[in-house]
Structure 1
Amino acid sequence: MTELVALVPAHDEQDGIVATLAGLYRQSLRPDRIVVVADNCADLTAEIAERCGAEVFVTSGNRDKKAGALNQAVPAVLDTLPDDALLLVQDADTVLNPGFVRCAVDALDEDEGVGAVGGIFFGEEGGGLLGLLQRMEYERYALEIHRKGNEAVVLTGTGTVFRARVLREVRAARRAGRIGGGDGYYSLASLTEDDEITKAVKTLGHRTVSPDGCWLVTEVMPTLPKLWHQRMRWQRGALENLRDYGLTRVTLPYFGQQIMLGLGAVALGLFAVFTVIVLVTVGWQGFSLFWTAITLIFVLERTLTVRGAGRRAVLLALPLVPELLYDVFRQLVFARSLVDLVLRRQEHWVAT
């Protein structure tokens, strides 16, 4: 039987660690060991984890956030495991569905070319209108992954199962200078270590997948400032990772995604400017049958793709305006990240 160990990096997660561990204990295929990585915790995370039956690894002098914590904890666990062992890395603000581990193990057993299995994340309840918009976004992201044959675009930190030998290959490649990011398992040079390790695993020739059954529920950002900091970290990190890896067979699709984001931002801006110019110069010209039909088709697509998020999501998608404003927010994040990258502005990690 393949040995599987769960690592849960946690920084001041006393409010959510019980639910996270309960999700692991409810797995139809439970991990052989569950290790909570208590990183610079000033609360009761470690004590609560121990009372729940988990092992606790306390980091020492870590200043490199999650990546630094994992680079201390992974060797302590992995050095005792054989190459065919598996390592589940899961955020402490996430709850896996009961079949997650079984689904991931099955995917790895079925295809030796798969180096890691990433989760498909959905947003937790709450957060008001902003939380609902994030849940709608995640619903469409899950649908996109399914349509693309369940290829994992990012080995999300919310829940990913790695082969032990693949993680060892990643560290060896860093030490040999084939990929950057230091000499540990996770890159210390990236704001988004999950995005970076995805590119590392793929660069070494392994596939990454996200099967439909590997879904989980993670937190949503309750306020715009928190969402801004989260998305700035994600977007800036993604751009920096592409800069560092350069244009390769692996990164080509990611460059395409970023180009499409940029084109979308430009198109939306031009549409807004054109609309204002027309209204100012010639005034309202009435409804166009052609453009009304196009709009209705667009509305239909937007509503159908969020059905899984519930009736409130469908109702919110109908008027378009709330989601349009949310898209503007995301495009502002992209534009700011791109400008900061070009100007070499220092991006600071902000806890969310």
Structure 2
Amino acid sequence: MNTPARSRITAVLPAHNEVGALPATIASLRAQTIPPDRIIVVSDRSTDHTVEIAEAFGVEAMETVDNAARKAGALNQALEILEPEGFVLIMDADTQIVPRFIERALQEFQDPDVGGVGAVFRADPPTGYLELCQYLEWARYAEQIERTGKTFVMSGTAALIRWQALKDVESRFGSIYDEQTITEDMRLTMTLRACGWQVRSPVECQSTTETMPNVPTLWRQRRRWYLGALQNITEMGWNRVTRRYIGQQVMLALSVILMTTLIGLTVASYAVNGFLGVQPFWLVIGAVFAAERVVTVWDQPWPRRLFAALVIPELIYALILQSAYVGAVWQKLNSSQGEWAHLGTPHKTTEEV
């Protein structure tokens, strides 16, 4: 399992109608201090000029054949034709990575137990309320990773993975990417860990990806994420790997119950008394919560810190996410497999939910 000083690196970019975003993604790969040896764009049922754009920018392009398994199926078809040597960089076609991403990730592979290194993703500069909430959410996630050193999910936006680790997953689970899940990055993280590999996400390995532009697309995206997590946990069962993921689901469910209870009690109090009383105890609790909101985004410009201090705007955002979680639980209870849709923006269309 020892990592050579410089092994072959192949970048694989699954893409569906990515004409608008693909040039910037390819440029970020070519700007790497240690560039990949090979770049392959995997066009999955594209109806635009994704293949032509890829070839025009001097990279290889392939098209999937009879793929009904979305991103996971596209990746499996691409990985089947590659030589299993060195590392493979799996990267979304609408994402850019920092110039030292590969160089920094390779440092982690000096530990022979590391099977994959994922990105710490950040959003494009926000221009509106919903984008700002997502931006701050991801900034806090990056801060948590830096503080704890723990990787919950090896991000599907960009991840450098050891080929030997992928072959171990294939040998044990029958395929590299599980084509039945709608959150293939989470499932791969879990199967890598089940095979004894570690995954890491150093904060220097940053990727930039787009946020959801409106509430319906955000809601569907997060419902898919939550449903995928529930499916992965159910299918893999209780074991040493899934314990942490089951714990997360318990905390999510608890947060929904507590928020519902708080709103219910507030409405009932107003209905009975005709006004909302202010209690010193809850003022203190609110102040502590507001301080936590601000401290965890302290590296941001002061207008964003002020936004976090207001609490209420992000509380509304949290309610949107919690409602998506409830939607995912309902889908799971009804044995829904979930679905993907297409997000249309002025410059691109991509699979997102």
Q: Structure 1 length as normaliser, TM-score? A: 0.92
Q: Given that residues 127 and 220 in structure 1 are in contact (C-alpha distance below 8 angstroms), is that contact kept between their aligned partners in structure 2? A: no
Structure 2: gaps of 5 or more residues: 1-5, 343-351
User: Aligned pair in 2 of structure 1 residues 26, 40: CA closer, same or farther (>3 Å)?
Assistant: same
The CA distance in 2 between the partners of 1:52 and 1:214, in whole Å, is 24
Q: 2:15 aligns with which of 10, 15, 33?
A: 10
Letter in 2 for 1:212: V
Task: Work out whether 1:52 is the aligned partner of 2:57.
Answer: yes
Deviations 1:4-63 (A, max 9, x none): 111111110000001101111111111111111111111111111112121112212212
Contact 2:269 2:276 in 1 (8 A): no
Q: Report the CA distance shift for 1:279/1:56 in structure 2 as closer, same or farther (over 3 A).
A: same
CA deviation digits over 1:195-214, x for unaligned, max 9?
11111000111111101111
Return the letter of the residue paired with 1:93. D
Q: CA deviation at 1:293?
A: 2.3
**Counterpart in the other structure of 1:180:** none
- Matches of residues 100-119 of structure 1 in structure 2 within 5 Å? 100-109=101-110, 111-119=111-119
Q: Distance in 2 between matches of 1:93 and 1:206?
A: 28
Aligned counterparts, 1:73-152, within 5 A:
73-77=78-82, 80-82=83-85, 85-109=86-110, 111-126=111-126, 128-149=128-149, 151-152=150-151
State the Cα distance separating 1:75 from its structure 2 match.
Answer: 1.6
- TM-score (ref. length: structure 2): 0.92
For the residues of structure 1 that align with 2:302 and 2:50, how far apart are their CA atoms?
36
Taking the TM superposition and a 5 Å limit, the aligned residue runs for 1:129-208 are 129-149=129-149, 151-175=150-174, 184-208=175-199
Q: 1:345 & 1:193 partners in 2: Cα distance?
A: 17
Residue type of the partner of 1:97? V
1:298-309 correspondence to structure 2 within 5 Å: 298-309=289-300
Q: Verify the 8 A CA contact 2:266 2:276 in the aligned structure 1.
A: no
Match of 1:178 in 2: none
> Is the partner of 1:170 in helix, strand or coil?
helix
Query: How much has 1:312 moved relative to structure 2?
Result: 3.5
Residue 131 of structure 1: how far off its partner (Å): 0.8
Change (3 A) 1:345 1:103: same
2: CA distance between counterparts of 1:57 and 1:308?
42
Partner SS, residue 181 of structure 2: coil
Q: For 2:118 and 2:276, how far apart are their aligned partners in 1?
A: 50
Q: CA deviation at 1:311?
A: 3.3
| Paired letter, 1:115 | G
- Superposed displacement of residue 309, structure 1: 4.3
Counterpart Cα distance in 2 of 1:131 and 1:3: 37
In the alignment, structure 1 residue 28 sits paired with structure 2 residue 27? no
**Identity across matched positions, percent:** 36
How far does residue 346 in structure 1 lie from its aligned partner after superposition? 4.2
Query: Which amino acid is the alignment partner of residue 49 of structure 2?
Result: L
Partner of 2:199, secondary structure, is strand
User: How many residues are paired up?
Assistant: 338
Partner of 2:330: 339
Letter in structure 1 aligned against 2:255:
G
Conserved 8 A contact 2:131-2:213: yes
CA separation of 1:345 and 1:61: change in aligned 2, threshold 3 A? closer
